Amino acid sequence: MSKQSLPKELETLLRLTKPKIDELSYETILKQITSSFNWTYFLERAIATNLAGYLLPYPEIGRQYFPPIVYDHIRGYQRKIQLHSIRLIDLLKDVVELLESQKIAYAVLKGCAGLIEGKYDYKKRQVSDIDILIDPQAQKKVIALLENEGFKVSSLIYKSQWHESKQNEHAPIQAQKNGLNLDIHIQLFRTNEGYQIATTELLNNSVSIDFNEASYKILPPSAAALFTVLHIHKHLFYGSQMKVGGINDLYPISLPPLKSLAKKWNAASQLEQIDFFWNTWLLEDYNSTFLGKTTLRFLKGRQMTFKEKLIFLKRRLFTNQKQYWNLRAQLYDLFPRKSYLLHYFGKGPYLLIWLKRMRNLFRF
Total structural domains within the chain? 2
Q: Are residues 108 and 163 in the same domain?
A: yes
Q: Are residues 250 and 263 in the same domain?
A: yes
Q: Are residues 213 and 225 in the same domain?
A: no
Domain assignment present for 364:
no
Q: Are residues 110 and 154 in the same domain?
A: yes
Domain assignment present for 162:
yes
Domain assignment present for 26:
no
Q: Are residues 122 and 185 in the same domain?
A: yes
254: domain range? 221-305
Q: Are residues 118 and 181 in the same domain?
A: yes
Domain assignment present for 316:
no
Strands (E), the chain: 106-109, 130-134, 152-155, 173-177, 180-185, 207-211, 214-218
- Single residue among 252, 279, 305 that ends a domain in this structure: 305
Q: Which of 167, 183, 77, 86 is nearest to 134 (CA)?
A: 183
Strand arrangement, sheet containing 152-155: 152-155, 173-177, 180-185, 130-134, 106-109, 214-218, 207-211
State residue 1's pLDDT score: 38
Q: Are residues 193 and 171 in the same domain?
A: yes
Q: Report how far residue 286's alpha carbon sits from residue 278's, in angstroms, rounded to the nearest whole number.
A: 9
Task: Centre a 10 Å sphere on the Cβ of residue 203 and count the other Cβ atoms it contains.
Answer: 17
CATH number of the structural domain spanning residue 183? 3.30.460.40
- Single residue among 219, 238, 262 that ends a domain in this structure: 219
The alpha carbon of 294 is separated from its chain's Cα centroid by a whole number of angstroms, namely: 15
The percentage of the chain sitting over the pLDDT mark of 90, rounded to a whole number, equals 77
Neighbouring residues of 194: CB distance < 8 A, sequence distance ≥ 6: 266, 319, 320, 322
- Single residue among 219, 240, 274 that ends a domain in this structure: 219
Helix, strand, coil in percent for the chain, rounding step 5: 60, 10, 30
Domain assignment present for 130:
yes
Q: What is the pTM of this model?
A: 0.90
Q: Are residues 164 and 196 in the same domain?
A: yes
Q: Report how far residue 236's alpha carbon sits from residue 230's, in angstroms, rounded to the nearest whole number.
A: 10
Q: Which of 68, 89, 71 is nearest to 79 (CA)?
A: 71
Q: Report how far residue 70's alpha carbon sits from residue 250's, in angstroms, rounded to the nearest whole number.
A: 27
Q: Are residues 111 and 195 in the same domain?
A: yes
Ramachandran angles phi, psi of 215, nearest 5°: -120, 140
Domain assignment present for 34:
no
Whether residue 167 contacts residue 329, with contact meaning beta carbons closer than 8 Å, is answered with yes
CA atoms within 13 A on the CB side of 282: 12
Q: Report how far residue 50's alpha carbon sits from residue 243's, in angstroms, rounded to the nearest whole number.
A: 6
Cα→Cα distances 145→100, 108, 154, 182, 282, Å: 11, 17, 13, 13, 45
Q: Are residues 152 and 232 in the same domain?
A: no
Domain assignment present for 73:
no
Spell out the per-residue pLDDT of the chain, length 364, in tens.
344 479 999 999 999 999 989 999 999 999 999 999 999 999 999 999 999 999 999 999 999 999 999 999 999 999 999 999 999 999 999 999 999 999 999 999 999 999 999 999 999 999 999 999 999 999 999 999 999 999 999 988 888 888 777 777 888 999 999 999 999 999 999 887 889 999 999 999 999 999 988 999 999 999 999 999 999 999 999 998 899 999 999 999 999 999 999 999 999 999 999 999 999 999 999 999 999 999 999 999 999 999 998 998 888 777 655 555 677 777 888 898 898 888 888 899 999 999 888 877 656 5
Neighbouring residues of 31: CB distance < 8 A, sequence distance ≥ 6: 65
Whether residue 243 contacts residue 175, with contact meaning beta carbons closer than 8 Å, is answered with no
Domain assignment present for 313:
no
Whether residue 324 contacts residue 318, with contact meaning beta carbons closer than 8 Å, is answered with yes
User: Could you tell me whether strands 180-185 and 130-134 are parallel, antiparallel, or unpaired per DSSP bridges?
Assistant: parallel
pLDDT tens digits along 288-316: 999 999 999 999 999 999 999 899 888 87
Cα→Cα distances 315→193, 288, 318, 334, Å: 11, 20, 5, 17
Q: Which of 170, 148, 147 is nearest to 158 (CA)?
A: 170
State residue 360's pLDDT score: 72
Q: Are residues 254 and 149 in the same domain?
A: no
Q: Report how far residue 327's alpha carbon sits from residue 329's, in angstroms, rounded to the nearest whole number.
A: 5
Q: Are residues 130 and 140 in the same domain?
A: yes
Q: Which amino acid is at 45?
A: R
Neighbouring residues of 82: CB distance < 8 A, sequence distance ≥ 6: 122, 123
